[in-house]
Amino acid sequence: MAYRYIPLALRHSPTPRIEHFALLSGLDASIRGMLISTMPLVVYDALGDAQATSVAFFLSGIVALVWGLMVPWATRKIPRRWAYTGGGCLYLVGNMLGAIGTVWSVPLALICNAMATVTIFVCLNAYVLDYVDRANLGRSQSTQMVYAAAPWAIGPLAGVWLYHQWHALPFIVSAGFALLLLTSFWVLRLGNGKQIQRAKRPAVNPLGYLGRFFRQPRLIAGWMFAVMRSCGWWVYVVYLPIFCIEAGLGDKVGGIALSITNALLFAAPALNRLARRLSVRRSVRFAFGACGVLFLSAGLMSVLPWATVALTMAASIFLVTLDVVGGLPFLMSVKPSERTEMSAVYSSFRDVSSILTPGAAWLVLWVAPLPGIFVAAGCGLLASWAVAGQLHPRLGTARPSRGGVAA
Per-residue pLDDT tens over the stretch 272-329? 677 667 777 788 888 899 999 999 999 998 888 899 999 999 998 888 888 777 777 7
Mean pLDDT of 52-80: 79
At 157 the pLDDT is 80
Q: How many angstroms separate the CA atoms of 90 and 95, rounded?
A: 8
> What are the tens digits of pLDDT across the range 230-245?
899 888 877 887 788 7
User: In whole angstroms, what is the distance from residue 142 CA to residue 267 CA?
Assistant: 8
pLDDT band of 191, cuts 50, 70, 90: low
Alpha carbon distance 108, 15 (integer Å): 38
How far from chain centre, in Å, is Cα 378? 20
The residue-averaged pLDDT of 139-166 equals 81
Provide the pLDDT for residue 311: 93
Residues in the chain: 407
Backbone angles phi, psi at 405, to 5 degrees: -125, 135
Neighbours of 352 (CB within 10 A): 19
Rounded Cα distance, 249 and 308, in Å: 11
pLDDT at 77 over 60: yes
User: Which is more confidently placed, 402 or 71?
Assistant: 71
188: helix, strand or coil: helix
Cβ atoms within 10 Å, residue 5: 6
pLDDT at 74 over 90: no
- Predicted TM-score of the model (pTM): 0.69
Burial bucket for residue 17 (CB in 10 Å: 0-12, 13-18, 19+): middle
Residues 387, 224 contacting (CB under 8 angstroms): yes
User: Rounded to a whole number, what is the distance in angstroms from the first to the last CA of the chain?
Assistant: 50
**Res 175: pLDDT:** 94
pLDDT at 82 over 60: yes
Residue 193 and residue 159: Cα distance in Å, rounded? 34
**How far, in Å, CA of 234 to CA of 40, rounded?**
13
How large is the average pLDDT for residues 124-134?
Answer: 77
Q: Higher-confidence residue: 128 or 32?
A: 32
Q: Is pLDDT larger for residue 206 or for residue 354?
A: 354
What is the pLDDT, as a whole number, of residue 116?
A: 92
Predicted confidence (pLDDT) at residue 407 exceeds the cutoff of 50 = no
The dihedral sign for the CA sequence 263, 156, 36, 184: negative
Residue 358, pLDDT above cutoff 50: yes
Say which CATH architecture domain 212-397 belongs to: Up-down Bundle (1.20)
Instruction: Please tell me the predicted confidence (pLDDT) of residue 397.
Output: 53
**Residue 291: its pLDDT value, please?**
92
Of the pLDDT bands very low, low, confident and very high (cuts 50, 70, 90), residue 134 is: low
Same fold, 15-190 and 212-397: yes
At residue 279, the 3 state secondary structure works out as coil
Residue 2 has pLDDT above 70, yes or no: no
Distance separating alpha carbons of residues 87 and 114, to the nearest angstrom: 10
Percent of the chain having pLDDT more than 70? 80
- The stretch 357-362 carries a mean pLDDT of 78
- What homologous superfamily does CATH list for 15-190? MFS general substrate transporter like domains (1.20.1250.20)
Q: What is the DSSP letter of 13?
A: P
Q: Kindly state the average pLDDT of the residues 240-263.
A: 76
Crossing angle (nearest 10°) for helices 371-388 and 305-325:
30
Per-domain residue ranges of the chain: 15-190, 212-397
Per-residue confidence band for 337, with pLDDT thresholds at 50, 70 and 90: low
Highest mean pLDDT: which of 76-85, 98-107, 176-185, 383-392?
A: 176-185
